[in-house]
């Protein structure tokens, strides 16, 4: 796991090379909506991409992490199915629904049933390297989301330059990022993490929560501002010193949300002294989110080390999949 996290910047560079070589069919007619379907480590790339491009996408983009798709999917819809293994049963079910409804389907996968189906039906697909835990291959799945969105005319921005710059910054700043991740892990050790960010960057909070769950074997939760100000903030009346607040912040967060964050900290401080802000770094929105992803990954690994747990092991998920396989 250490090596895979360390190699994240190189993965971004390789992912760019893969996307540039992808052989895709002509984009065809304009699309009225986009649905990205995927779960866990396979699905988080779609969530990050959808939020990053929200202010330029020419049509709605929605992320679905379930067996089904919304009723509006049909002809004129683009469905991007992402399953690292190619065998995620929920994503395969959603993909079949998309095909049945007449939607345009594109796939991001390393193999499995998804790749077999894509080849058999002549679907657009981008193949990424296999054989690793899906959560460690985010650089590949995230990057290909942007290639597909641009190919189909949903976005026009120069994401390749953004990703290349982010990879360079992560490489040159790797040791500093590791040290910050180690300090964050020390801050969280022995406490229950509570993760906040502005709504526009919630996907990065989700990624960190998932990494703390899987790598650090730790329960935690996240919420987004301003929504949490309308419900969860009241719940802090039940807070205590066992909770450790992590706030992911960006210099381009909405100015009113930044004011809210400062007021929120005053509320948190009534119940816990453990409040830690993490400011993103980078040249643009995508680069700053990639920076926080990498920092969070390191923090989850160092937290696993402090707890003495195996960051790679996910036995309970494999058990669940095995039991599901027994049910026909």
Would you put residue 181 in left (φ > 0), alpha (ψ -120 to 50) or beta? Answer: alpha
Residue 291 has which token pair? 């920076």
Q: What confidence score (pLDDT) does residue 181 get?
A: 98
The single residue listed with the structure tokens 């990703």 is 163
Asked if the model's pLDDT at residue 43 lies above 90, the reply is yes
Out of 75, 100, 171, 321, the active site residue is 321
- The residue-averaged pLDDT of 228-243 equals 98
pLDDT, tens digit (0-9, with 9 covering 90-100), for 249-274:
999 999 999 999 999 999 999 999 99
- Backbone φ and ψ for 267, nearest 5 degrees, come out as -70, -50
Instruction: Answer for the pair 295, 184: CB distance below 8 angstroms, yes or no.
Output: yes
- The residue-averaged pLDDT of 200-214 equals 98
Range in 103-112, 134-143, 255-264, 315-324 the model is least confident about: 315-324
Residue 87 C-beta-side C-alpha neighbours within 13 Å: 9
- The residue-averaged pLDDT of 28-36 equals 95
Better pLDDT: 57 or 328: 57
Residue 116 has which token pair? 């077999």
The confidence band for 29, taking pLDDT boundaries of 50, 70 and 90, is confident
- DSSP lists the bridge partners of residue 63 as 36
Active site residue 251: no
The secondary structure of residue 265, as a DSSP letter, is H
Alpha helices in the chain (DSSP H): 2-6, 8-21, 40-52, 89-100, 112-121, 138-151, 159-172, 174-188, 202-214, 232-235, 255-268, 285-307, 315-326
Q: What confidence score (pLDDT) does residue 271 get?
A: 98
Asked if the model's pLDDT at residue 128 lies above 80, the reply is yes
Q: What confidence score (pLDDT) does residue 192 get?
A: 98
Q: What confidence score (pLDDT) does residue 191 get?
A: 98
Asked if the model's pLDDT at residue 291 lies above 80, the reply is yes
Instruction: Answer for the pair 283, 251: CB distance below 8 angstroms, yes or no.
Output: no
- The residue-averaged pLDDT of 195-214 equals 98
Would you put residue 68 in left (φ > 0), alpha (ψ -120 to 50) or beta? Answer: beta
Cα distances from 148 to residues 3, 259, 262, in angstroms, run 28, 36, 38
Closest by alpha carbon to 155, among 20, 29, 61, 19?
A: 61
3 state DSSP class of 227: helix
Alpha-carbon distance 88 to 92, whole Å? 6
Out of 214, 217, 218, 274, the active site residue is 214
Closest by alpha carbon to 153, among 63, 53, 285, 31?
A: 31
Instruction: Answer for the pair 197, 252: CB distance below 8 angstroms, yes or no.
Output: no
The single residue listed with the structure tokens 């010193």 is 241
Alpha-carbon distance 185 to 200, whole Å? 25
Closest by alpha carbon to 39, among 321, 323, 322, 247?
A: 321
Cα distances from 143 to residues 49, 114, 126, 156, 223, in angstroms, run 8, 19, 11, 15, 25
List domains and CATH numbers for the chain. 2-163 (3.40.50.10490), 173-307 (3.40.50.10490)
- The residue-averaged pLDDT of 109-134 equals 97
Q: What confidence score (pLDDT) does residue 84 get?
A: 97
Out of 21, 230, 270, 328, the active site residue is 230
Asked if the model's pLDDT at residue 323 lies above 80, the reply is yes
Q: What confidence score (pLDDT) does residue 81 get?
A: 98
What percent of the chain shows pLDDT beyond 90? 98
Active site residue 321: yes
Asked if the model's pLDDT at residue 328 lies above 80, the reply is no
Active site residue 266: no
Tell me whether residue 38 is exposed, middle or buried, using C-beta atoms within 10 angstroms of its C-beta: 0 to 12, 13 to 18, 19 or more.
Answer: buried
């Amino acid at each position: 796991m250490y090596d895979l996290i360390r190699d994240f910047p190189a993965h971004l560079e390789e992912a760019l090379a893969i996307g540039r070589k992808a052989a895709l069919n002509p984009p065809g007619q304009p699309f009225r909506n986009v649905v990205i379907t995927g779960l866990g480590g396979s699905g988080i790339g779609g969530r990050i991409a959808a939020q990053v491009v929200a202010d330029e996408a020419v049509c709605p983009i929605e992320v679905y992490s379930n067996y089904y798709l919304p009723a509006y999917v049909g002809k004129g819809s683009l469905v991007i199915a992402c399953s690292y293994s190619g065998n995620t049963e929920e994503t395969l079910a959603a993909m079949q629904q998309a095909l049945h409804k007449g939607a345009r389907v594109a796939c991001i996968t390393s193999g499995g049933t998804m790749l077999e189906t894509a080849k058999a039906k002549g679907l657009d697909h981008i193949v990424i390297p296999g054989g690793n835990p899906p959560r460690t291959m985010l650089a590949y799945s995230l990057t290909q989301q942007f290639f597909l969105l641009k190919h189909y005319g949903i976005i026009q921005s120069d994401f390749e330059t953004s990703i290349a710059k982010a990879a360079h910054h992560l490489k040159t700043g790797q040791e500093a990022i590791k040290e910050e991740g180690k300090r964050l892990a020390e801050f969280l050790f022995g406490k229950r993490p509570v993760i906040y960010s502005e709504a526009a960057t919630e996907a990065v909070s989700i990624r960190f929560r998932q990494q703390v769950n899987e790598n650090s074997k730790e329960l935690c939760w996240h919420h987004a501002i301003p929504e949490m100000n309308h419900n969860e903030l009241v719940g802090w009346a039940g807070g205590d010193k066992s909770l450790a607040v992590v706030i992911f912040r960006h210099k381009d967060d909405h100015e009113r949300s930044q004011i809210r964050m400062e007021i929120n900290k005053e509320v948190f401080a009534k119940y816990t002294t453990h409040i830690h802000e993490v400011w993103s770094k980078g040249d643009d929105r995508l680069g700053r989110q990639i920076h926080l992803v990498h920092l969070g990954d390191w923090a989850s690994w160092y937290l696993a080390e402090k707890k003495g747990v195996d960051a790679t092991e996910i036995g309970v998920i494999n058990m669940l999949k095995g039991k599901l396989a027994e049910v026909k």
